[in-house]
Amino acid sequence: MYPEYTDVIRKYCLNDVESLITEIEEQLLGAIKGKQIQEKQDDLNLLLHATMKSISFLREILLMCRHGFPDGALILARNLYEQMIICLFIIEKQGEEHDRILENYYADYECTRLKYIIEGAKRFNDEKQINETKEKLEEHKKKYGSEHNAYWWSEKRRFNEIEDIVINADNPLKGLFNNMHMEYRTASILVHPSCFSNMVHIGSPFKGIDMRAQREGHEESLFLATTSMIPLVGHTYERLGLDFGEVVDGLNRYGMYYWGIVVERNGTKSSTAKI
């Protein structure tokens, strides 16, 4: 079993970040119970599910950093960035377009479930299950007019189309988002096996075979994860009527601290992971 690196825990303030996200989690769960929030297909539930899932993944990122695995941590941080982009894309829509896309987003739950069942049935040659499920999927397609690609609900074909809309929407934080995007791009390379990704080890100045745990490079995932949490937490708190100032300031403080380490290590202010 790999040990925890106490110097990594101190340098990257891992215990402090853990305390902050635990505070956020407890405040959200308390508000849900106190305000008797019901499961509905609305912006609040969209944000709650995304934020609570992101807290869970951020805990896993902290655990990987404690034990010296920056590559895996960045791959997990990729999910938090996608959560943030998708939520902003939906909640910033207005009127009928917002309502339609939100309805489609929730309808994708059943679409995904049916496609999963069909794939399993095909693997085991269950013709009865295949035919029954295909009928239901066709009904879904007729109702929503979807082509069943991963982002049909957004009326876009790819995630990067959604991302471009969010980043370029008169956004004063466009520079920050571009830096986050480059971390996301690094994670997207690492998550898939290739000659390139198999030789990259974040935090290491070398390319090669040695992929053992290490003490450097954890700023990449922590920067992407904490800054992705800021809009999720801010919008969720706002809709629950909670004061988000202290917790958002905390996330921002850590995000900028990690970004400072990225800049110091890479010697740049406009790009992120050195790969």
Largest CA distance in the chain: 60
Judged by phi (left if over 0) then psi (alpha if -120 to 50, else beta), residue 55 lies in alpha
Helix (H) or strand (E) holding 193: none
How much is the average pLDDT of 9-28?
Answer: 98
pLDDT at 271: 45
pLDDT greater than 90 at residue 58: yes
Closest CA to 92 of 180, 151, 184, 171: 171
For the chain, the first-to-last Cα distance in angstroms comes to 28
227/207 Cα distance (integer angstroms)? 28
Please state the length of the chain: 275
94/132 Cα distance (integer angstroms)? 37
Question: pLDDT tens digit string along 63-104?
Answer: 999 999 999 999 999 999 999 999 999 999 999 999 999 999
| Residue 5 three-state SS | coil
Question: pLDDT tens digit string along 204-230?
Answer: 887 788 999 999 999 999 999 999 999
Closest CA to 222 of 190, 256, 249: 256
Domain ranges of the chain: 1-92+169-251, 96-156
214/223 Cα distance (integer angstroms)? 18
- Split at pLDDT 50, 70, 90, the class of 146 is confident
pLDDT at 197: 93
Q: pTM of the entire structure?
A: 0.95
Cα angle: 197, vertex 202, 203; to 5 degrees: 155
Listed in sequence order, the residues at least 6 apart from 112 whose beta carbon sits closer than 8 Å to its beta carbon are none
Residue with tokens 């509905």: 40
